[in-house]
Structure 1
Amino acid sequence: MAIGLGLGLLALVLLGLATVGLVAGGIALNRRHRREDAARSADRVNGP
């Protein structure tokens, strides 16, 4: 019983960490892409 509870808790914690990691990674990726897009549009406006 106690072992099952411990494993369940561990699974929940790992799932939470994975979710947080995915969300943080997605935000970081979005930021990087946005920065590249901004740089690209700035190049387009300023010209070569």
Structure 2
Amino acid sequence: MDVFEAIRTRRSIRSFRPDPVREEDLVKILEAATWAPSAGNLQPWEFIV
């Protein structure tokens, strides 16, 4: 999938399944989030799980 396809096919989810997220998946998601760019490289992230 290229960037333009990802932008065109994106959607907002308003209903979620009650299934718990596996801890290993959650760790991967949070690690990936820390690689997101931030203004001035301030890295002002706070994660509440």
TM-score of the two chains, using structure 2 as the length reference:
0.34
Q: TM-score, normalised by structure 1?
A: 0.34
Q: Which has the bigger relative contact order, CA under 8 A and spacing at least 6?
A: 2
